[in-house]
Amino acid sequence: MGIIVNGTDVALPDDPRVSLLDLLRERLRLSGTKKGCDQGACGACTVLVDGQRILSCLALAVQYEGRSVTTIEGLGDEGALHPLQQAFIEHDGFQCGYCTPGQICSAVGMIEELRRGVPSHVTADLAATAIPHSRDELRERMSGNLCRCGAHNGIMDAIAETYGAETHAEAAE
Amino acid sequence: MTPFSYVRAADADAAVRHSGVDAKYLGGGTNLVDLMRETIERPGTLVDVTGLSAEITETDGGGLLIGAAVRNTALAEHGLVRRRYPMLARAIVAGASPQIRNMATVAGNILQRTRCAYFYDRAGSRCNKREPGQGCDAIDGFNRMHAILGASPACVATHPSDMCVALAALDATVHLSGADGERRLPFADLHRLPGDEPDRDTVLQPGDLITAVELPPLPIAARSTYRKVRDRSSYAFALVSVAAALSVENGTVTDVRLALGGVAHKPWRASKAEQALCGQPATEATFRAAAAAELAAAEPLRDNAFKVELAQRTMVAVLGELAEVEVLGGGA
Ligand SMILES: Cc1cc2nc3c(=O)[nH]c(=O)nc-3n(C[C@H](O)[C@H](O)[C@H](O)COP(=O)(O)OP(=O)(O)OC[C@H]3O[C@@H](n4cnc5c(N)ncnc54)[C@H](O)[C@@H]3O)c2cc1C
Ligand code: SF4
Ligand code: FES
Ligand code: FES
């Protein structure tokens, strides 16, 4: 058994040292997923494994045998953008774009966690099963994705609009 | 990375069978893969133990048995953890990032290694933890993040885990499996102070496998919390952190659990402060005195004297919050 990447079965690397990130970028030529730090600190390499967001730079590809990996290439393409991709364009959610695929994959995983009721550092009531889609919650939950260009406000607006939270402008009113 | 072979263990017995002299267990890989890339860890074999129990089950007395392979997110998200041991859920979500917490396992979190920058700098720095006998560049170096309690002339590193601070306060027990069979160890006895063997983070022997962590039934923990002070509001290691549970009756402290993070080579159970609190009035003066008692033995380094006061203030603030007592001009 190999790894399923965006719906296609892919062979595992022979060398167990190959990270999931390098498998995607160097072997499969899926260069949407980015290598920022290669040490878990930036989030640029975020992908979804069975719907959960993880860092592909700290993952050995062999660990993910039989699992289903979704990268930015699997979320949308030029003819049919993912709603978040469209929202990032509309809200200036990027400048250089290097962090963007990681931001978008992360946000897709994030919203599932929020809907499931996973608490965050800013969740006031741990006993609550429904957690508000507030800006503070979204910001904290996206804090594993850094943006060197400082596009955070646009990123937050794109995510907030797509997932029905208040936007920056509304919060400021 | 040095070449290694990879095997996946179906269960604890298989994992222990696979473990050899130069093998290491692999959880989520979020610490080990990084250290292997830096060639600080150079195992010949990786035994993947994410197939071990990932279950959280209630024990007879009302405690919890947490499988070693439970992911950090799953533990923080669990209803019983949130209701009965809120400090544990809070500590976990204060650590790392959501992506890392989705990968990280309970056992891996416990056995993560220090983030001392000199430990990481294999090419340029001396470190007794990495190379015993080499010397320690942190003691006279940039040591703002380092220990103020229980350090030694050989090593002043801190243990970086948030989750472990809560486990220390909660009187957890670690279930182990090794060459000589199964055994249990109080969590408080697992991590070591550096002494003259800073290369040994814990009392575990090579091949020892963590199979589970057990939380005792602890009604006091239902009213507990975790506070972390760091350089930015998210995704940063603790300068100082406090896990606390407090019970107050008629204005008197009847029971308390208190542990500190970011201050020592191990998660630091604040037993002196606990003693100073029990039976005393739940007032700011008591909290201050208790915090001072715990930090009396602090030996700060060049850059981290601020931690001595910071740790005390954070303890006072957290106790004030739990006791609903006004402290530090508004901590409650
Ligand atoms: C950028 C970054 C920021 C971080 N910030 C924080 C933070 O703020 N707070 C915090 O607490 N943590 C933080 N972390 C650390 C993170 O929590 C740990 O890396 C993680 O918990 C380790 O779990 P793992 O399963 O990935 O362990 P692994 O990396 O797989 O393993 C770690 C160690 O545990 C051993 N091991 C694993 N399973 C077992 C077992 N069953 N029995 C015996 N030994 C075992 C391994 O051999 C290895 O030595 C951060 C990490 C990164 C990369
Ligand atoms: S403090 Fe410990 S880990 Fe850091 S350089 Fe000194 S010996 Fe190494
Ligand atoms: S490249 Fe993976 S977190 Fe930076
Ligand atoms: S857009 Fe440049 S790093 Fe985020």
Identify which of B115, B129, B144 to mutate to test ligand 2's pocket (most ligand atoms within 8 A of the CB): B129
Question: What is the predicted pLDDT for the residue at B158?
Answer: 98
Distance from CA of B89 to the nearest CA of A (A): 8
pLDDT for B330 equals 52
Residue numbers in B near A52 (CB within 8 A): 102
| pLDDT tens profile B169-199 | 999 999 999 988 999 999 999 999 999 999 9
Q: Which of B116, B125, B140, B305 is CA-nearest to residue B201?
A: B116
Q: Is the pLDDT of residue B70 over 70?
A: yes
What pLDDT score was predicted for residue A165?
67
Contact state of B30 with A40 under an 8 Å Cβ cutoff: yes
**Integer angstrom CA distances of residue B243 from A18, B92, B166, B220, B261:** 38, 11, 6, 13, 8
Q: Is the pLDDT of residue A168 over 70?
A: no
Chain B positions touching A101 (Cβ under 8 A) are: none
Average pLDDT of the residues in B20-35: 96
Q: Determine whether domain A3-75 maps to CATH 3.10.20.30.
A: yes
- Residue of chain B whose Cα is closest to the Cα of A129: B79
pLDDT confidence bin for B331, thresholds 50/70/90: very low
**CA B142 remoteness from chain centre:** 23
Mean pLDDT of chain A: 94
- Nearest chain A residue to B75 by CA distance is A118
Angle made by CA atoms B82, B110, B302, in degrees to the nearest 5: 105
Within 8 A of B109 by CB-CB distance, chain A residues are none
Ligand 2 atom, smallest distance to B126 CA = 5
Which ranges in chain B are annotated with CATH 3.30.43.10?
5-50
Measured between CB atoms, which of B83, B102, B235 is closest to A127?
Answer: B83
User: What number is the ipTM of this complex?
Assistant: 0.96
Q: Confirm or reject contact between B92 and chain A (CB < 8 A).
A: no
CATH 3.40.50.170 for domain B5-50, yes or no, is no
Closest to B98 (Cβ–Cβ): which among A19, A62, A141? A141
Q: Where are the domains of chain A?
A: 3-75, 83-172
Nearest to A45 by CA among A145, A135, A122: A145
- Ligand 1: distance of its center to the CA of A94 in Å? 31
The answer to whether the beta carbons of residues A167 and A90 sit under 8 Å apart is: no
Domain A83-172 class?
Answer: mainly alpha
Q: What is the pLDDT of residues B114-157, one digit of tens each?
A: 999 999 999 999 999 999 999 999 999 999 999 999 999 999 99
Report d(CA B213, CA B161) in Å as an integer: 15
For residue A63, list chain B residues with Cβ-Cβ distance below 8 A: 26, 29, 48, 50
Q: How far apart (Å, rounded) are the C-alpha atoms in residues B150 and B305?
A: 15
CATH 3.30.390.50 in chain B: give the residue spans.
223-322
> Distance (Å, rounded) from C-alpha B136 to C-alpha A166?
50
Q: What is the pLDDT of residues A69-116, one digit of tens each?
A: 999 999 998 889 999 999 999 999 999 999 999 999 999 999 999 999
pLDDT at B332 over 50: no
Residue of A17, A37, A47, A112 for testing the chain B interface, max B β-carbons within 10 Å: A17
| Protein residue whose Cα sits closest to atom 48 of ligand 1 | B32
Query: Which of A93, A91, A142 has its CA nearest to residue A114?
Result: A142
| Ligand 3 lined by A38 (C-beta under 6 Å) | yes
Q: Which whole number is the average pLDDT over B221-238?
A: 96
Q: pLDDT digit string (tens) for A18-64?
A: 999 999 999 999 999 999 999 999 999 999 999 999 999 999 999 99
SS3 content of chain A, % helix, strand, coil (to 5): 40, 10, 50
pLDDT confidence bin for A166, thresholds 50/70/90: low
Instruction: Tell me which residues have their CB closer than 6 angstroms to ligand 4.
Output: A 94-100, 147-149, 151
| Mean pLDDT within B287-307 | 98
Residues with CB under 6 Å of ligand 2 are B 114, 116, 118-119, 127-129, 136-138, 155-157, 198
Angle between helices A152-162 and A100-116 (to 10 degrees): 40
What is the predicted pLDDT for the residue at B328? 72
Among B161, B177, B180, residue whose Cα is nearest residue B169: B161
Q: Which of B52, B151, B64, B34 is nearest to B107 (CA)?
A: B52
Domain B223-322, CATH number (from 3.40.50.2300, 3.40.50.12280, 3.90.1720.10, 3.30.390.50):
3.30.390.50
Per-residue pLDDT at A173 exceeds 80: no
Ligand nearest to the CA of B116: 2
In the prediction, which pLDDT does A169 show?
A: 55
Ligand 3 centroid–CA B243 distance in Å is: 30
Q: Any residues with CB less than 8 A from the CB of B295 and at least 6 apart, and which?
A: B148, B149, B308, B311, B312
> Are residues A118 and B76, on separate chains, in Cβ contact within 8 Å?
yes
